[in-house]
Amino acid sequence: MTKPKRNILMIYADQWRPDMFGATKSFTPHLDELARQGVSFCRHYAQALPCAPSRASLYTGLYAPQHKVTNNAALFGAELKTLGHYLRNAGYVPTLFGYTDTVLAPDHPDADPDNRSKYSILPGMVEGCHQPDDNPQHWLKHLADKGYDTSSLEQVYGPDTSQPNATGGAAGEPARYAAEDSDTAFLTSRLMDWVAKQDQGWCGMLNFLRPHRPTIAPAPYNALVDPMDLRAPVRSATEAGDAATHPYMEQLIATGNAPRKVHQDLSGRIAEVDEKDWRSIRAIHMALMAEIDANVGRLFEKLKENGVWEDTLILFSSDHGEMMFDHHICQQASWHEQCARLPLVVFDPQSQAPEVAGRKVDELTESIDTIPTLLDLLELNIPETLPGRSLAGFLQGETPKVWRDAVFWQFDYGGAVDQAYLDRFDIDRSDCVMSVVRTETHKLAVFPGTPNVLVDLTKDPDEMQNLAGRPEYAAVEAALQTRLDDYHSR
């Protein structure tokens, strides 16, 4: 097989907020510069929530009803063809730095019997540095070699209480490790070391844990973001206002455990966290995004120094978003934009038209478009079994005359509700799958056994009001229900 002519670098964050919490200034100058040179897809969406289901859609190019990885514990089927397999067929050896949240059955042909994490490497990829969140053994060894206490992950991620609290809230103290020794810096350095040894035609995937919890940043990043520079959460004036939109939201707000789901130094419910602490936690989340940007900038500079920048296709995105106190909840367990909307920047010096540099695409795109796009850019056939669409035309200055008018995603919320909720609505935990369709103007979220959620995005972009069941919206609701029925029949 002929050696590929172009390098591929795929960079993924975990729990990224594209809106940057409405920050008054940018904290991501290197990714901003990538966007100025490439093409940004401004309305890009995950196909499933949370981590493992979303990544399964990204890595297979399939919707959740097709790949059936519907929660973080679901097994990744041996029959599934992955991004790694497609790239191997193109002559690449796709190499992972980070993790893919892939759970394999013990009898899966790619299962590693010596793997000490619940997560495996995505089939079709080879290990550069596997760093799953439950057992980042290579990073822990690096820390231990430098004299850090690695007796537990809680110890590793604990705050240095001898240093000032830069935000004045729950998350403002710096990490015990230095910035150059952080999980983000370590992983970036491992990829950089690897790239320096590669011939032309390499393919690397850099998957960061951050800005996902633990919400702690090393100095100087813990002091980088002024909490007052970020917008306050988008939500009703009272938690009762958000709870009234749907029984499921009522449940999330009532049971949202702040120390377990957000930060260990909090107490009570997420909806009860005071302004000092939610501002602190949002500031550190943003700081962790800035730390990724700084390390990505370090990587980009090395690519340029080594003369391979113009030969490297670069893609930056995330697996999902994060509510971060919007609507009085955290994590990514609802129908709101903050959960499913993703960043996507694609830069391909070898194929993109010069005039598209800095282009911002407003068409609706999905993470399942990634595999078709890469295959198209590599001038390979796109299997008809893949429901996604190539975005390559946008990189060549085109706008398709016919494009999708809706995006879809789903979330298995069986683990987010208690037995009283199931009894109240006479449903089984296995029934708890929220399905969402979002068009240019409306969004419908369907919950088996409980009412729908319908939002008019033209009048209510912050999604404060549920219009489901209103006679004047009956036709819209029925039409969107039909779209979801078609989605589940794939």
Q: Got the DSSP string for 400-463? A: -SS--SEEEEEEE-GGGS-HHHHHHHT--GGG-EEEEEEESSEEEEE-TTS--EEEETTT-TT-
Closest CA to 184 of 175, 173, 195, 172: 175
The answer to whether the predicted template modeling score (pTM) of the entire model surpasses 0.85 is: yes
pLDDT at 115 (0 to 100): 86
- Whether residue 341 contacts residue 436, with contact meaning beta carbons closer than 8 Å, is answered with no
pLDDT at 113 (0 to 100): 86
Closest CA to 7 of 303, 396, 278: 303
CATH architecture of 7-404: 3-Layer(aba) Sandwich (3.40)
In which residue ranges of the chain is CATH 3.30.1120 found?
A: 409-488
pLDDT at 176 (0 to 100): 98
Closest CA to 299 of 41, 92, 9: 9
Q: Which of 51, 129, 203, 339 is catalytic?
A: 51
Closest CA to 288 of 19, 11, 10, 20: 20
pLDDT at 2 (0 to 100): 65
pLDDT at 112 (0 to 100): 87
| Residue 25 structure tokens | 């200034």
pLDDT at 114 (0 to 100): 82
| Residue 212 structure tokens | 């996902």
Q: What angle do CA 374, 74, 14 make, to 5 degrees?
A: 50
Active site residue 203: no
In which residue ranges of the chain is CATH 3.40.720.10 found?
A: 7-404
pLDDT at 1 (0 to 100): 57
CATH number for the segment(s) 409-488: 3.30.1120
| Helix/strand/coil for 158 | coil
Reported residue count of the chain is 490
Closest CA to 374 of 90, 102, 181, 178: 90
Along the chain (490 residues), what's the average pLDDT of each consecutive run of 10 residues?
83 98 96 98 98 98 97 96 97 98 94 88 98 96 98 96 97 97 98 97 98 97 97 98 98 97 96 98 98 98 97 98 98 97 97 96 98 97 97 96 97 96 96 97 97 98 98 98 94
